[in-house]
C-alpha cells in the first residue's frame, strides 16, 4: 500500500519590513523620498533671491528664524524651471547638518512599501536628472514611484543651510 503523505503548511512569514517614502509630484510625474530625510512639509512662502547662486537655487526662506536654501528640484530632475501654483509645497529636508528645502508641484501621502517591492533602477547615469533616481517602488500593478537618492542629491548640490 502507498504511504500516506501529509503536507505541512509553512508557518506564515513574519511581516515583511517596510520602507516609508514621502511622495511628491513634479511635472506630472510621481517621486518618493525616504521619510527619514523629511523634517516637514510647508506651503510655499516668500523666497528671497540670493545673487550668484546656481540656477537651481531659487533663494532662501526664513522659517522660524532659520535661513533655509530652497532648491528648484524640478530643474535638477527634469531640467525645466519650476512654476509656483496653489498646490506648491516645500519639502524641508535634513541630511546630517544640512537643512534644505525642495520646491515641488505637490506632496502626496506617505507610501509604505514592503522591501520586496523596492527594486534598483538601472539607467545610464549621464542622463540628466535620472542619475538621482536609484530605485523604483512598485505601489501597485499600474503605479510606481521613482525613488530619489536624497542624500546623494543633497551632497552633490553642496548647499549648506
What does the DSSP assignment read for 34-92? EGGGEEEEEE----B--TT--TTEEEEEEETTEEEEEEEHHHHHHSS-----TT-EEEE
pTM above 0.85, yes or no: no
Q: What is the pLDDT of residues 17-59, one digit of tens each?
A: 889 999 999 888 899 999 999 999 999 999 999 999 998 999 9
Q: What is the pLDDT of residues 128-157, one digit of tens each?
A: 667 889 999 998 888 889 999 999 998 888
Amino acid at each position: 500500500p502507498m504511504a500516506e503523505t501529509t503536507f505541512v503548511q509553512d508557518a506564515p512569514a513574519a511581516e515583511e519590513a517596510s520602507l516609508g517614502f514621502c511622495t511628491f509630484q513634479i511635472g506630472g510625474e510621481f517621486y518618493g523620498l525616504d521619510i527619514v530625510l523629511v523634517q516637514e512639509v510647508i506651503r510655499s512662502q516668500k523666497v528671497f533671491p540670493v545673487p550668484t547662486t546656481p540656477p537651481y537655487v531659487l533663494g532662501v526662506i526664513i522659517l522660524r528664524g532659520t535661513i533655509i536654501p530652497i532648491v528648484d528640484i524640478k530643474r535638477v530632475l527634469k531640467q525645466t524651471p519650476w512654476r509656483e501654483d496653489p498646490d506648491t509645497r516645500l519639502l524641508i529636508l535634513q541630511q546630517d547638518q544640512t537643512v534644505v528645502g525642495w520646491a515641488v508641484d505637490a506632496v502626496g501621502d506617505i507610501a509604505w512599501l514592503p522591501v520586496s517591492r523596492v527594486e534598483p533602477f538601472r539607467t545610464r547615469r549621464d542622463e540628466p536628472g535620472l542619475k538621482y533616481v536609484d530605485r523604483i517602488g512598485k505601489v501597485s500593478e499600474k503605479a510606481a514611484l521613482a525613488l530619489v537618492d536624497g542624500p546623494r542629491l543633497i551632497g552633490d548640490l553642496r548647499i549648506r543651510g
